[in-house]
């Protein structure tokens, strides 16, 4: 019987692979005829989200009766949840969106002189939620797919239970250059 066999990696420890492409080269690529070298042991950078959560200077208006803030468009319903061990959980994109929205809300509230009055009234009276979606195309998304995560992000961000909302208004507009949502939480008309 042979002695104990050692498993070996088919590639040496500092292996590099030459990548050769057989597609026709563009004129700019003709100057460089050397094949690319890929280091297999280089550290892998984490993937960045496909959508940016950054909106330049989020506009927020806080009064004694309402808060209105501009936030990024939430992830689509297909990207909000993941299945982990047979259970549906909020995806990393959904968690990142909620975290970002919460930070922007607390920033807006902390800079307002109406914070105490507003929070007292929001906790004691029925609420109205209004969300205006600005999509890049009128046929791109449904407004109801972004309702739940936007409502949860707003209510969790300011520490309210979303069952306090008595009425909801949804609007859909088109802005090809700056997709966003304008979300407003105010006291419901009685």
Domain residue ranges of the chain, discontinuous segments joined by +: 60-187
pTM of the model: 0.66
Q: What is the 3-class SS of 69-132, one letter each residue?
A: EEECCCCCHHHHEEEECCEEEECHHHHHHHHHHHHHHHHHHHCCCCHHHHHHHHHHCCEEEEEE
Cross-strand bridge partners of residue 186: 66, 128
Tell me whether strands 127-135 and 165-174 are parallel, antiparallel or unpaired: parallel
- CA triplet 62, 68, 70: central angle to 5 degrees? 125
Question: pLDDT per residue over 1-25, tens digit each?
Answer: 555 555 555 555 555 555 555 555 5
Q: Per-residue pLDDT tens for 165-177?
A: 999 999 999 999 9
pLDDT in tens, 31-47: 555 555 555 555 655 55
The structural architecture, per CATH, of the domain 60-187 is 2-Layer Sandwich (3.30)
Helices 92-110 and 115-124 pack at an angle, to 10 degrees, of: 120
**Structure tokens given for 143:** 């407004």
Contacts of 30 (CB under 8 A, 6+ apart): none
């Amino acid at each position: 019987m042979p002695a104990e066999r050692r498993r070996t990696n088919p590639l040496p420890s500092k292996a590099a692979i030459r990548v050769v492409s057989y597609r026709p080269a563009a004129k700019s690529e003709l100057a460089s005829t050397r094949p690319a070298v890929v280091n297999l042991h280089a550290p892998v950078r984490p993937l960045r989200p496909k959508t940016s959560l950054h909106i330049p200077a989020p506009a927020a208006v806080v009064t004694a009766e309402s808060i209105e803030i501009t936030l990024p468009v939430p992830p689509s319903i297909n990207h909000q949840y993941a299945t982990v061990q047979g259970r549906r959980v909020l995806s990393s994109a959904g968690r990142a969106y909620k975290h970002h929205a919460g930070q922007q809300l607390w920033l807006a509230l902390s800079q307002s002189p109406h914070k105490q009055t507003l929070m007292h009234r929001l906790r004691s009276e029925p609420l109205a939620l209004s969300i205006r979606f600005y999509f890049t195309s009128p046929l791109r998304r449904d407004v109801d797919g972004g309702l739940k995560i936007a409502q949860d992000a707003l209510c969790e961000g300011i520490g309210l239970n979303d069952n306090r909302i008595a009425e909801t208004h949804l609007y859909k507009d088109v802005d090809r250059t700056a997709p966003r949502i304008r979300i407003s939480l105010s006291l419901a008309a009685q």
